[in-house]
């Protein structure tokens, strides 16, 4: 049976939801922005009028205002976005039980059982777009193809409020001339590397030797080659399917720029505690520790290291994160935000290589203590009990409790 996959993408979603309750936003360039007081001052979404000024998602508010001084800034209301997202998915379930969310505003639908041809699929897509308009006063774009990657490409191909079909007969002539970074998962860094080997279009990517790409880009090279050649066969998940957890991370934007090692260490320790707790909650251990730093100009730096043995212990995560920071940061600028992530996770019960440096008895005691702390915090509230190390981190160099200008905001942890 022929696969027919939809990808439905709401147009300017956050901005469009805000325009439902504020019709006046429809006639002016506007952007939904993060909380400036909490220093999450970036553009989260923008309407079509703002797009014409070249305003981009994730750029700083001051950059957006420089492009459009009259830009109207609207605060984000995430509860609204989640509400409409839930209602939209309920509508999609009327067509198929295979609905896979991709963020709040995007979904894949497996419509193979509902359509016999691409022509019929396009008609159903048009009716869905009309229902979204009539029911919610929102617009969406729909991509239709024989796999998820090309369906996603189709929803991006023509916006706003459009249906695009890449059939199994004409996809090469339509898709291969497109820029390689139009393909899902080809980001700025990967595109930069592809340009170095003269790969600029999806067709160039498809025509490059598969083995060479795998050597050049690692596993990602093999995956992208398959995507470019239309070989994605990943299924659309059924309703209620839980995506496999591949990493656990936490990050925070501090109230003021961090300008000292002690402030960074304090923040890294709190983030490590949170990451470790979530790993234990999911019954996982991480084998790679990564930190991500953004300076005051939003320039990002990432570093990672492989651990000798998998861990779910905050102290181990913190020590690795601290080493990565000390080795890589030269304090050329203050730090605006920082994050800690554990990746290449494995089930906690999986056998691991034992270390000569840590006895099995010490490991068991540490693990037992972590679980006791998790249980107490779960019963009586997060943070009611912490490790001695974390308590010590809350003191400044003179041994005094931190004053109110301490840059870390606990509510920023997520």
Catalytic residues: 106
Q: How do strand 284-295 and strand 140-145 relate by DSSP bridges?
A: unpaired
Alpha-carbon span 31 to 16, nearest angstrom: 10
The verdict on whether omega for the bond into residue 160 sits within 30 degrees of 0, i.e. cis, is yes
Alpha-carbon span 222 to 228, nearest angstrom: 10
φ and ψ at residue 191, rounded to 5 degrees: -65, -40
Dump the DSSP string for 274-291.
HHHHHHHHTTEEEEEEEE
Alpha-carbon span 322 to 30, nearest angstrom: 40
Which parts of 247-358 fold into alpha helices (H)? 261-281, 314-328
Alpha-carbon span 172 to 146, nearest angstrom: 13
Residue 148's contacts (CB-CB under 8 Å, 6 or more residues apart) are 5, 7, 108, 232, 234, 236
Residue 205's contacts (CB-CB under 8 Å, 6 or more residues apart) are 180, 183, 194, 199, 213, 224, 225, 228
| Burial class of residue 131 (count of CB atoms within 10 Å of its CB; 0-12, 13-18, 19+) | middle
Residue whose C-alpha is closest to residue 347's, from 312, 297, 378, 322: 312
**Tokens coding 30:** 């506007």
């Amino acid at each position: 049976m022929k696969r027919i996959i939809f990808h439905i993408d709401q147009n300017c979603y956050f901005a469009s939801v805000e325009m439902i309750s504020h019709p006046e936003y429809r006639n002016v360039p506007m952007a939904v922005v993060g909380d400036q007081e909490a220093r999450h001052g970036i553009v989260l979404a923008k309407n079509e009028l703002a797009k014409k000024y070249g305003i981009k998602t994730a750029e700083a508010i001051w950059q957006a205002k420089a492009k459009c001084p009259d830009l109207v800034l609207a605060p984000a209301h995430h509860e609204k976005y989640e509400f409409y997202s839930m209602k939209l998915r309920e509508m999609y379930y009327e067509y198929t039980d295979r609905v896979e969310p991709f963020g709040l505003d995007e979904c894949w639908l497996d419509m193979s059982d509902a359509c016999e041809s691409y022509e019929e699929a396009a008609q159903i897509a048009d009716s869905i777009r009309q229902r979204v308009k009539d029911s919610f006063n929102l617009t969406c774009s729909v991509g239709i193809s024989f796999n998820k990657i090309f369906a996603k490409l189709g929803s991006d191909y023509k916006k706003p409020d459009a249906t695009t079909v890449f059939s199994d007969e004409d996809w090469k002539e339509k898709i291969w001339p497109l820029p390689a970074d139009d393909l899902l998962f080809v980001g700025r860094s990967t595109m930069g590397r592809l340009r170095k080997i003269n790969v600029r279009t999806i067709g160039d990517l498809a025509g490059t030797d598969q083995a060479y790409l795998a050597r050049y880009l690692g596993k990602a090279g093999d995956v992208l080659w398959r995507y470019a050649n239309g070989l994605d066969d990943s299924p659309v998940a059924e309703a209620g399917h839980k995506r496999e957890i591949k990493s656990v991370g936490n990050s925070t934007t501090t109230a003021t720029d961090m300008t000292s090692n002690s402030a960074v260490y304090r923040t890294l320790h709190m983030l490590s505690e949170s990451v470790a707790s979530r790993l234990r909650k999911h019954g996982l251990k991480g084998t790679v520790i990564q930190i991500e730093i953004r300076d005051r100009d939003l320039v990002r730096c990432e570093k990672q290291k492989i651990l000798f043995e998998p861990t779910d212990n905050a102290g181990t995560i913190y020590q690795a994160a601290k080493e990565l920071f000390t080795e890589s940061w030269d304090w050329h600028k203050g730090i605006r935000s920082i994050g800690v992530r554990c990746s290449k996770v494995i089930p906690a019960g999986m056998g691991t290589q034992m270390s000569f440096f840590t006895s099995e008895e010490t490991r068991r005691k540490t693990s037992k203590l972590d679980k006791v702390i998790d249980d107490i915090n779960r019963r009586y509230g997060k943070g009611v009990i912490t490790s001695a190390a974390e308590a010590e981190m809350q003191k400044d160099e003179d041994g005094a409790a931190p004053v109110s200008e301490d840059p870390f905001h606990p509510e920023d942890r997520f």
